[in-house]
Amino acid sequence: MSTKYIFVTGGVLSGVGKGITAASIGALLKARGYKVNIQKCDPYFNFDAGTLNPAEHGEVFVTKDGAETDLDLGHYERFLDIELTQSSSTMSGRIFRQVIEDERAGKYLGKTVQIIPHVTNAMQEAIAEAGRGFDVHIVEVGGTVGDYESTAFIEAIRQFRHHVGAKNTLSVHVVFLPYLTASAEVKSKPAQNAVRDLREAGIQPDILIARTDHAIPEGVLSKLSLFSDVAREAVIPLATVKTVYSVPSLLESAGVGKIIAEHFGFNKKKPNLKNWQDLERRVLSKDYKTVKIGLIAKYLDHQDTYASVIEAIKAACWSEDKKAEIKWIDAEALTFKNVASKLKGLEGIVVPGGFGSRGVEGKIVAATYAYKRDIPYLGLCLGMQVACIAVARIAGLHDANSTEFDPKTAHPVIGLMDDQKTLTVIGGTMRLGNYECLLEKKSKAAKLYGTTKIEERHRHRFEFSNEYEDIMEAQGLFIVGRNPLTGLAEVVEAPAKKYFLASQYHPEFTSRPMRPNPLFLGLIQSI
């Protein structure tokens, strides 16, 4: 069977839910037994997401092979329970650089290099390469149809449909229907215009997903069908739900799976969605005990800045028949004078990753407080580094610090890795992706993982300096996980505490809603 391609585009406004829609469609197809891959084509001229500000764009997700990507890849991995690679994240900047490098190498034989066909061909090649070997390849085009920077990608998928055949491609357009309070009605005109924009670009949607925060009257759906030339049964109302993990079942109930199967000539067997239904029941249960977790954050401007961390905490709670109440704590506002009041009532503390000195002292305060008060603590990347600094200061090294924050510190507990010291370029130069870690056999971490040999994803430049290991051990904090090739500290834990554990890697990236990462699970089990 040749690969089938599903293209997901958006209209009216950004953040309409294309990523969740694409991931949910993938989940439906995987539940039918098909081998599914998924890709995000982002119109930004950045090379990758590594240098994007999380306060504007949300978290930077990291794949197993070290790609720094848009957060939608996190949704994809969680919904499909697969590990994606660099090929699943394609930004315009990467495509344009490739085209320019090819021109410099003389690959175009002196021809004038243009958006069409050279850039659009490169985009199509990236899509075809990512879809090779899969039954279905889903491609989400970022941004909104009509955006200047999206034009080349939209043209590329228009051409792609002709190259592989209409029956091998399917277009899903996600639009938003605003609600006017004054007239108490859902308006379809912006959605109609968004479909018109797509059709003017040469793409006729096969499925129209109508997102809204309110119920959509049948008359509005019929009007959308008429003006968009999409069959009424393929105009799918999708109101905002209490949990995104309800979306696969909702799309299946609305007939999306059947429409796709008929379009591609797939068998009509029903998907096995029992695991999704069980997850939805757990997420929406009102019977579970609530646990209060403090997230010591420095990026507070965007709710998706710690998307994978939030989902990992929730998943661990659901697995233990609990429900998470996550309190965001502003790290910049946290001091030794107010820490008791700021963290009052918390049953667990999570310190996530981050870069730069802003808010770091507050994170050290939180780690110190958790260590001294024996409050369950989980540190992620920077969260491990501040834990080590905190314990070093408890040991009497009052000016202990990271050279990232204080290059002249007398006690550089955390320092720059040797291979980072001569770098002058920021993007893509960190320790990125999967690295092996060997855990001490009797450690809490090994018991949680059920093995002493693990691989987890990294994104950092600085490391713990092993010369301070004895000082940490004297205070009860031990290195229990190391990189077998470099000896770098990967996991530290305090066995005398209820749960004080931190990793240099990012365990949130491998956590799944139905299979939480062991370190998050250990945190919740300790409460």
10-46 burial, b for 16+ CB within 10 Å, e for fewer? bbbeeebbbbbbbbbbbbbbbbbebebbbbbbbbbeb
- For the sheet with 36-42, list strands across it: 89-91, 36-42, 136-141, 4-10, 169-176, 207-212, 235-239
Q: Which one of the listed residues 173, 458, 460, 506 is annotated catalytic?
A: 506
- Do 36 and 15 meet the contact criterion of CB atoms below 8 Å apart? no
CA atoms within 13 A on the CB side of 319: 21
User: Residue 213 corresponds to which amino acid?
Assistant: D
- Do 79 and 23 meet the contact criterion of CB atoms below 8 Å apart? yes
User: Residue 360 corresponds to which amino acid?
Assistant: V
Q: Which one of the listed residues 41, 381, 388, 437 is annotated catalytic?
A: 381
Task: Based on the residue annotation, tell me whether 508 is a catalytic residue of this protein.
Answer: yes
Could you say which DSSP state residue 270 is in?
Answer: P
In whole angstroms, give the CA distance from residue 4 to residue 137: 6
- Do 443 and 491 meet the contact criterion of CB atoms below 8 Å apart? yes
- The first and second tokens of residue 178, run together, are 């605003």
In whole angstroms, give the CA distance from residue 30 to residue 24: 10
Q: Which one of the listed residues 140, 155, 280, 508 is annotated catalytic?
A: 508
Distances 496 to 372, 376, 379, 444, 455 between C-alpha atoms, Å: 11, 12, 17, 11, 26
Task: Based on the residue annotation, tell me whether 381 is a catalytic residue of this protein.
Answer: yes
Task: Based on the residue annotation, tell me whether 317 is a catalytic residue of this protein.
Answer: no
Helix and strand numbers (H, E) in the chain are: 18, 23
Task: Find, among 302, 314, 270, 266, the residue nearest to 514 by Cα.
Answer: 314
Distances 325 to 67, 181, 188, 348, 432 between C-alpha atoms, Å: 31, 31, 36, 10, 31
Positions annotated as catalytic residues are 381, 506, 508
